[in-house]
Chain A
Amino acid sequence: MMAENKRSDRALLQVDKLCVSYGLVEALTNASITVGEGQIVTVIGPNGAGKTTMLSAIMGLLRSRGGITFDGEAMVAPEVETMVARGMNLVPEKRELFGEMSVEDNLVLGSFQRYRMGFRDHAQTMEEVYGLFPRLRERRTQMAGTLSGGERQMLAVGRALMAKPKLLMLDEPSLGLAPLITREIFRIITQLRSRGVSILLVEQNARAALQVADYAYVLETGEVAMEGPASELAGDPRVIEAYLGLGGKHQEMLAT
């Protein structure tokens, strides 16, 4: 498969024995994952397994213990701003748009850190984003709060892309989206990879996620329970039994 060939040896993100606790409760225990350059890596697992926690910790939104190496540099106690400046971006589960601002202003804010670092290419990046999401161009003067669910997700992804990230972390990108829009989102995810963006994907449609991903991890109760090339995990009976189920023709279609 094409995806197999694409796997590069260079790791863009290396997370080593990451632990996060909320008070006395440990939400993540010794989770180690790697995202190679140009790869889509997905993390599947039940609700409450710690997937969102893991993304937040990598992004520096939560305090964690363990090692995070990003783009060849070990990050000690990562902070959100530095991570964004280094080329990491997170599209959170709840989108967190600026509802009272226009679509375009939301996008411009996405390039804030780059602008501060002296890059003045946001107009061009915005064109690229509009190229990916023509719908956003149609709605660019509209307030973000008035968008439909699918458009919101597009805007959230678009805003993250404005920072020209090397690694894009997507937390449940298809949450609440209709099948057609979900398909579009998955198409864009693969398109982004071909543009050289690496992606760490947490997604409820496990079947579709495994279909687009190169490599996958199964996270259960805060620990990595299984890992392997996505196509192998998709055929693993234990994964099928717990996360995919049989049949599911509609889900199958989402990643086509």
Chain B
Amino acid sequence: MKLALSPRLVLAAFIVLLAMAPLALPAFYVTLLNYIGLYAMVALGLVLLTGVGGLTSFGQAAFVGLGAYTTALLTTSSELPGWLAWAGGSPWLALLVGLVFTGAVAFLIGKLTLRLSGHYLPLATIAWGLSLYFLFGTMGFLGGHTGLTGIPPISLFGYELRQGEEVYYLIWAFVLAAVLTASNLLDSREGRAIRALKGGMVMAEAMGVDTARSRMVIFIIAALLACASGWLYAHMQRFVNPTPFGLHIGIEYLFMAVVGGAAHVWGALVGAGVITVLKQWLQDLLPRLFGESGNFEVIIFGALMVLVLHKARGGLWPILVAGFKRVIPVAAQRRSIDRDVPALPRRELPAAGTVLLEAKGVTRRFGGLLANNNMSLEVRAGEILALIGPNGAGKSTMFNQVSGVDTPTSGEVRFLGESVVGKGSRTIARKGLSRTFQHVRILPTMTVLENVAIGAHLRGSRGVLSAAWRLERAEEARLLAEAARQIERVGLGEHMFDEAGSLALGQQRILEIARALASDPCLLLLDEPAAGLRYKEKEALGDLLRKLRAEGMGVLLVEHDMDFVMGLVDRVVVMEFGEKIAEGLPEEVQRDPAVLQAYLGGEE
């Protein structure tokens, strides 16, 4: 074993350095660090929103403005309306009001715009970013473009924070609290749901994650962080005007997140630091170089952005980490799995023979194409049903109809006796159906363990706040232990902590089975589980499915490997051109002339 520092020690060293900075540095640099801290909080929100959640926002500066103006108004105005009078004069109460107000505004804006996808969402953020900015400038009671002055300093335990190095500690305490909160949140059940937003929405919904809620959660968190930054800014500057809350600043915040490393919470600090220092430096240097004044730094920033996007998509943080580790080895933070925690409660499986899934006359039209035509099938507890047929026969479409990913044009789907047509995959997942996908849907940069834990999402209940403050560790340990158990069960134990994307395709399919099992289903839908597996691996998979069947689970599977299917399943349904052409025992189906001609071949 090589000697390596623990990550905690590195963090502690960083905090000590931060604490000593004002003692050692001239006032100018302390001010610079104050700004870096303020910007970092906003950028941190963007890391959650954009880097992790995949929602791009150009409008964060407006939320900073909300925080700043709320406190400015409340602490300077002498004529507050009666119902708000209690909050007047105290910065701390103003922070509270600001957070509540910003949260409400974010909720409203989120409700209206978060449904937008693709480039529409960024455009919408530009729209409301602009609107709020001009609102600050035109409202008479906010002082128009001159703004509001005479904001009091924040006082802490009766001590007024007037100097830069005094407010410094408050700002950085906020920053560190925000960073730790964000990292805690991301490393939790809710956090995995958030991390699935980028590129894993269909899968996450099928695992029972309410993705609309997760989007709203990060949107509001990002807005609250911006608001807190605005509050600190107002009391540090002691006056506010609309300029720092405009769209161009919103773009600069996004720069910071991307340059620092949009997918890493610490990237926000790096980005804010680099951009702020660079800006300062360039503002000094460039006019001297060009011999006249002007905003030349913006041009350099543009070029820098292009360079980062080309050479370091992941931002500077991953490069810094790699460089740092080369000089000073840091021990990898490896998750330990506590095996002694009580197992999660299990669903009571229906008695063998109970009809789990019943599809009757399901028809799905895509324009003129009949993908499924009057399809019926039934899966019982304790049986394996195979759905086979040529490529393009509509098997995966049928899967989507019964699992709620898609809604049939007509027909009936009942799960455990209850109609589930149009219910959506989340509802059906909660009832006990879990599935895998034909084209694997995993989160490649998350570990195998985390990917599988998403499957257990519905078996936990602790929310965002308890995750942020680590009050859900007992539940989290149980979820992870369950995920680990399923991973070992399917034979991926040695890859537990590997990135899921590094697995071979066949192993990724097996991972999907573990993820589906982690939800404790009573019905399992497997779309080509054996594709890409080798003989031994197929044997192991067959054994696993037999065991599940014996435990009373129902399995519906689509598969092309006939040696695998015919030796395993109880009944077979054959499809061609969207319709059922045969149904029966494996031996019967294999002799059926229609099946031989359409699918199996050998009818020469």
Residues in chain A within 8 A of chain B (CB atoms): 22, 25, 44-49, 52, 93-94, 147-151, 172, 175-183, 204, 206, 242-245, 247-251, 253
Contact = CB atoms under 8 A, between A and B. Distances in A.
Contact of B391 (A49, A150, A172, A253): A150
A206 B390 CA distance: 21
Contacts of B528: 176
B563 A247 contact: yes
A178 B528 CA distance: 11
A149 B560 CA distance: 12
A223 to B, nearest CB: 16
Contacts of A180: 390, 598-601
A249 B600 CA distance: 11
A178 B539 contact: no
B378 interface: no
A139 B391 CA distance: 15
Interface string B576-604: 00000000000000000000001111100
B503 interface: yes
A48 B507 CA distance: 8
Contacts, number: 97
B412 interface: no
Given A47-B504, A47-B506, A52-B504, A179 B534 contact: no
Nearest to A49: B504
Contacts of A52: 504-505
A54 to B, nearest CB: 12
A176 B560 contact: yes
A46 B537 contact: yes
Interface of B: 388-392, 438, 502-507, 528, 531-537, 539, 560-563, 566, 598-602
B392 A45 contact: no
Contacts of A172: 505, 532
A8 to B, nearest CB: 30
Nearest to A247: B563
Contact of A151 (B389, B391, B536): B391
A244 to B, nearest CB: 6
A243 B532 CA distance: 13
B439 to A, nearest CB: 8
B246 to A, nearest CB: 37
Contacts of A44: 534
Contact of A204 (B391, B438, B532): B532
Nearest to A147: B392
B534 A46 contact: yes
Given A45-B534, A175-B531, A93 B390 contact: no
B399 to A, nearest CB: 14
A175 B439 CA distance: 11
B505 A47 contact: yes
Nearest to B439: A94
Closest 3 CB pairs between A and B?
Answer: A148-B392, A47-B506, A149-B391
A22 B503 CA distance: 12
Contacts of A176: 391, 438, 528, 531, 560
A47 B505 CA distance: 8
A175 B561 CA distance: 10
Given A47-B504, A47-B533, A247-B563, 13 more contacts: A25-B502, A46-B534, A47-B507, A47-B532, A93-B505, A93-B532, A149-B391, A150-B391, A151-B391, A204-B532, A243-B536, A253-B601, A253-B602
